[in-house]
Chains A and B, each alone.
Chain A
């Protein structure tokens, strides 16, 4: 027998590790506080406190200050998000969720008939160059360039060039575009292509190459989804519980570029509306959040 093995006289050769009970209600040695019902009462019911039947809920106004959930793969994170979505639907609060890697929210359709599922290949159309309702186009161009820079890691100079290019070549006064007929990503790609064929300075060629490679990748990957003059209006999406399925887009950069743009569009649209003063109007679900709000070491 190997002498190094831990030996427990009662149990024989191996010492078995006993799993501690965190919240045995009758043991009296719970490591967590025992709250009173009124302390944890809330509109959005999340689950049960420990092993008891007491329901832990959060108030709607608390969710306006945001929620963060972290857990390793298989810990029940997706299930928790589904619980949240069902609860929000019960309270009539619209939400927007994205499925990026696996079909998660689609399977909720049986629990909530109201859920609208939009698939990027079939039902979801989005023009990133279209400013949300009530937002000035110049302001939106800056947002578009900034997010493209952040997600694709463009240099500041390329970002400035993109902003200038959009203002002078795409949204110029000679162009025939108006508020119902925005230029598409394919138009931008075409204009960049044309510009590359012209005789231009070397540094400008460098900027265009950096931008063009990303824009072309977007056009090739998303194809018809972004080949629209006007897409589904953001303010209409905000009225319903919606799941946008981006499963199948193999580039996570492009997926999070779309998500970031939609988040920015919501932000820009809301900023042109009256303040809510704490009332919860809509909830935005962001899975794999580190890609958007992470430290950048992913």
Chain B
């Protein structure tokens, strides 16, 4: 004879005393048969395991067509079966209840004012510390952590300043920003990790100096980031990523001192937009930024090459440039007005690139 656990016998008895039990679990196959057989309402939601699906089909009494439905249940959909009244399995879509955050400090305030909570706590009779001193260490730990403001709330406040700085100075690396804020590397790291985790920013890692190991970390604000500092997000032309968007603005800012003039972002010439368009030494220069679309870049070249004297395709790194070169040589061959370069080469020696044959 197998023994029944005490909890199951409690559940069995509680029915007579008006206590309803709602049981929830991830796998239907792990629940004891006696529980499944004695439950009036059974709801099966999406199950991924083969064993669980089979079990759900049996428990809900599904026919072959209905059983196939188990494989395709969406989030928030479930199949319900009542033991009586309406004993047919039925597909149900549950309404979505949007949860709203409630911080620890806010809950402290609510509970401190709630008369019902105070009433519940009025019956509590604490043992005095002198009676039980076995956990001195644990009490010490709580002294350190007691009444501490939640980490995330404090980090959020600090991160706002950082986000505002990113908005004002997009072209500053994270290392430089740490120095300017005059904070320690570890506390800056905490803030950066927080804004990354909360998706306020996207990380852009680039080597813009061209030196060995000179990769720096820059940040590009996401829509959520703009919202956090109550600023309007700038319009981006369809589908461009954070690296592309960052490089457009960076080149526009740093190429004029190197001899470029009248630079414009996303200039529309004859229905085709060129990422950057300007003049250098009397020549009309178009700059296309190629981050990942190496295979389709030749289409851009065909469209842009006649609209300017020199077309430069710049890539964020050497590896992408090599791939681009091999792809262009296959598709286009030699083109006198076409130049390819890594972005730091363009920033440091634009003359050499434009005059290169």
Complex Cα–Cα for A49 and B89 (A):
11
Give the interface residue-count category, chain A. 35 or more
Interface contact B41-A283, CB-CB below 8 Å? no
State whether A288 and B25 are in contact (beta carbons under 8 Å apart), knowing that A50-B93, A109-B110, A294-B32 are contacts in the complex. Answer: yes
Complex Cα–Cα for A279 and B66 (A):
34
In B1-57, the 8 Å CB interface with A consists of 5-8, 10-11, 13-28, 30-32, 35-36, 38-49, 52, 56
In A208-237, the 8 Å CB interface with B consists of 219-220, 223-224, 227-233, 236-237
Interface contact B114-A186, CB-CB below 8 Å? no
Contacts of A6 in B (CB 8 A): none
Complex Cα–Cα for A147 and B142 (A):
29
B240 on the A face (CB < 8 A): no
Interface contact A240-B17, CB-CB below 8 Å? no
Interface contact A275-B97, CB-CB below 8 Å? no
B332 on the A face (CB < 8 A): no
Interface contact A116-B22, CB-CB below 8 Å? no
Contacts of A75 in B (CB 8 A): 45-47, 73, 75, 78
Complex Cα–Cα for A266 and B19 (A):
9
**Smallest Cβ-Cβ distance to B86: which chain A residue:** A39
Interface contact A70-B27, CB-CB below 8 Å? yes
State whether A64 and B18 are in contact (beta carbons under 8 Å apart), knowing that A70-B25, A184-B127 are contacts in the complex. Answer: yes
In A90-112, the 8 Å CB interface with B consists of 104, 106-111
Interface contact B111-A117, CB-CB below 8 Å? yes
Q: Which of B10, B24, B111 contacts A81 (CB 8 A)?
A: B24
Contacts of B83 in A (CB 8 A): 65
Interface contact A220-B90, CB-CB below 8 Å? no
Contacts of B72 in A (CB 8 A): 19-20, 22
Interface contact A107-B123, CB-CB below 8 Å? no
Contacts of A40 in B (CB 8 A): 86, 90
Complex Cα–Cα for A64 and B39 (A):
10
Interface contact B45-A77, CB-CB below 8 Å? yes
State whether A71 and B45 are in contact (beta carbons under 8 Å apart), knowing that A49-B91, A107-B101, A281-B19 are contacts in the complex. Answer: yes
Complex Cα–Cα for A294 and B31 (A):
4
Contacts of B22 in A (CB 8 A): 63, 66-67, 69, 81, 84, 283-286
Q: What 0/1 pattern do residues 39 to 65 of A give for CB contact below 8 A with B?
A: 110000011111100001011001111
Complex Cα–Cα for A141 and B146 (A):
34
A7-15, A28-36, A167-175 - the one binding chain B: A28-36
Complex Cα–Cα for A55 and B92 (A):
9
State whether A35 and B88 are in contact (beta carbons under 8 Å apart), knowing that A69-B78, A275-B17 are contacts in the complex. Answer: yes
A200 on the B face (CB < 8 A): no
Task: Count A-B pairs with CB separation below 8 Å.
Answer: 357
A136 on the B face (CB < 8 A): no
A181 on the B face (CB < 8 A): yes
B150 to nearest A CB, angstroms?
Answer: 12
In A241-295, the 8 Å CB interface with B consists of 260, 263-264, 266-267, 270-271, 273, 275-290, 292-295
**Smallest Cβ-Cβ distance to A130: which chain B residue:** B125
Interface contact B134-A67, CB-CB below 8 Å? no
Interface contact B107-A180, CB-CB below 8 Å? no
Complex Cα–Cα for A66 and B47 (A):
21
Interface contact B94-A290, CB-CB below 8 Å? no
**Smallest Cβ-Cβ distance to B38: which chain A residue:** A66
Interface contact B20-A282, CB-CB below 8 Å? yes
Contacts of B20 in A (CB 8 A): 63-67, 280, 282-284
A297 on the B face (CB < 8 A): yes
| Count of chain B residues near A, Cβ 8 A | 94
Contacts of A51 in B (CB 8 A): 93
Q: What 0/1 pattern do residues 62 to 102 of B give for CB contact below 8 A with A?
A: 01011011001101111110110110111111111101111
Contacts of A283 in B (CB 8 A): 19-22
Complex Cα–Cα for A70 and B150 (A):
34
A204 to nearest B CB, angstroms?
Answer: 22
Interface contact A229-B126, CB-CB below 8 Å? yes
Interface contact B41-A67, CB-CB below 8 Å? yes
B139 on the A face (CB < 8 A): yes
In B304-357, the 8 Å CB interface with A consists of none
Contacts of A266 in B (CB 8 A): 10, 14, 19
Interface contact A68-B39, CB-CB below 8 Å? yes
Q: Which of B21, B82, B138 contacts A223 (CB 8 A)?
A: B138
B161 to nearest A CB, angstroms?
Answer: 28
Q: What 0/1 pattern do residues 126 to 154 of B give for CB contact below 8 A with A?
A: 11000110110011001000000000000
Complex Cα–Cα for A238 and B162 (A):
48
A44 to nearest B CB, angstroms?
Answer: 10
Of B88, B108, B120, the most chain A CB neighbours within 10 A belong to: B120
Complex Cα–Cα for A295 and B52 (A):
14
Of A19, A31, A48, A220, the most chain B CB neighbours within 10 A belong to: A31
Q: Which of B21, B79, B124 contacts A284 (CB 8 A)?
A: B21
B299 on the A face (CB < 8 A): no
Complex Cα–Cα for A283 and B23 (A):
11
Contacts of B73 in A (CB 8 A): 75
Complex Cα–Cα for A264 and B105 (A):
33
Shortest 7 CB-CB distances between A and B: which pairs?
A71-B45, A276-B18, A107-B99, A65-B40, A281-B18, A270-B17, A186-B132
Q: Give 5 A-B pairs besides A65-B20, A67-B20, A72-B46 with Cβ atoms closer than 8 angstroms.
A: A32-B69, A77-B24, A108-B97, A125-B124, A187-B127
B residues sitting closer than 8 Å to A (CB atoms) are: 5-8, 10-11, 13-28, 30-32, 35-36, 38-49, 52, 56, 63, 65-66, 68-69, 72-73, 75-80, 82-83, 85-86, 88-97, 99-102, 107-108, 110-111, 114, 116-117, 119-121, 123-127, 131-132, 134-135, 138-139, 142
Residue contacts A-B, CB under 8 angstroms, 24 given: A20-B69, A20-B72, A22-B72, A23-B91, A62-B85, A66-B39, A68-B31, A69-B23, A69-B45, A71-B26, A77-B45, A79-B76, A107-B100, A109-B110, A111-B97, A187-B127, A223-B142, A224-B142, A227-B127, A231-B124, A240-B116, A264-B6, A286-B21, A293-B32
